[in-house]
Amino acid sequence: MTAQDRKRAIVTAALPLFARKGFAETTTKDLARAAQISEPLLYRHFPSKEALYLEIQDFSCQGTDPVVRQLSELKPSARTLVRLVFYLMRALIVGLPKATPEWDTRHRLMLNSLLHDGVFARLIYQNRFDFFCARIEESLRAAIKSRDVVPMPVTSANRARFAHHVGAWIAGVYLPNRPAMDYKVDRNELLDEAMWFVLRGMGMTDRAIKHHCKRARMDEVFAEAKVK
C-alpha cells in the first residue's frame, strides 16, 4: 500500500469504531486492531487519536453525490422543492442512495458528536447541509410566489432545517437492531408519510403535493442519477 492508501484504509476502519463508541471511549489499541496494523504503524500515519478523528471529519465532508449537483442546477420552483425534500428524506429514512461512509455510520457519528463537543456535527452542517438548505430556501421562495406554498411566520431557512430534523430523528429511531419505535408501516410507506408531513409543514398546499409528489416516479429518476 502507498502511504495515502494506508491512511485511507485506517480512516475507513476507524469510522465505525468512532461511530459506535464515540471519541473518548475509542482507544488507539482498538483503532490499530480494526485497521489490522500495529499501534506504532498507526502512529506513523496519525501522531494522535485527535489527528485521526480530524482526518475522519475531512473525509466525511468530501465528495458530492452527482444527483445533488444536478438538483442544485434546477430552476427554483415547487417541483424542485419536492425533489430536494425527497432526496433528503429518502437518504435519512431509507438510506438511499448508498454512500461512503454508510448512512448508519454517519448518523451514529452525528449523534456522538452532538452528545460531546459538536465539532463533527458543525462541520457536516456547514460543509454539506447549509448548501442543500440554501437550495431549499430558493425553491420555497419561488413556490410561495407561485402560490404552491403559503406564507407563514417561519423563516424559509428554518422550514428547511425543521424538515431535516424530522428525517434525522426517524433515522435515529432505526439505529438499534430493534427500532426504538414502531411506526406500523414499512420504510417506503414511512417515507411517503414523512414527505407529506414535511411538505405540509413547509406550507405546501395539498393540490401541489398531489401534483408533484409521486414517489415511484421519483425513485426511478433518482435511481438513474438523472433529474429531469
Domain map of the chain by residue range?
3-60, 66-223
Query: What value does the mean pLDDT take over residues 47-54?
Result: 87
- For residue 149, give the nearest of 222, 92, 76, 72 by alpha carbon: 76
pLDDT at residue 228, as a whole number: 47
Choice between 87 and 65, residue whose per-residue pLDDT is larger: 87
The overall average pLDDT reported for the chain is 89
Query: What value does the mean pLDDT take over residues 137-163?
Result: 96
pLDDT at residue 220, as a whole number: 63
Residue 125 region by backbone torsions, left for phi larger than 0, else alpha for psi between -120 and 50, else beta: alpha
- Span 90-141, pLDDT tens digits: 999 999 888 878 899 999 999 998 988 888 888 889 888 888 899 999 999 9
Amino acid present at 35: A
Residue for grid cell 393540490: 207
Produce one character per residue of 82-111: b if its CB has 16 or more CB atoms within 10 Å, e if not.
bbbbbbbbbbbbbbbbeeebebebbbbbbb
pLDDT band, very low/low/confident/very high, at 222 (cuts 50, 70, 90): low
Percentage above 90 pLDDT, the chain: 57
Task: Indicate the length of the chain as a whole number.
Answer: 228
Assigned CATH for 3-60: 1.10.10.60
pLDDT at residue 128, as a whole number: 83
For residue 60, pLDDT beyond 80: no
Choice between 100 and 55, residue whose per-residue pLDDT is larger: 55
pLDDT at residue 221, as a whole number: 58
Choice between 49 and 67, residue whose per-residue pLDDT is larger: 49
Query: What value does the mean pLDDT take over residues 59-77?
Result: 80
Residue 118 region by backbone torsions, left for phi larger than 0, else alpha for psi between -120 and 50, else beta: left
User: CA-to-CA distance for 202 and 185, rounded, in angstroms?
Assistant: 23
Pick the CATH number of 66-223 from 1.10.357, 2.40.50, 1.10.3470, 1.10.1740: 1.10.357
CA distances from 109 to 101, 120, 172 (A): 10, 8, 11
User: CA-to-CA distance for 180 and 177, rounded, in angstroms?
Assistant: 9
Percentage above 70 pLDDT, the chain: 92
Ramachandran angles phi, psi of 177, nearest 5°: -55, -40
Is 180 in contact with 219 (CB distance < 8 Å)?
Answer: no
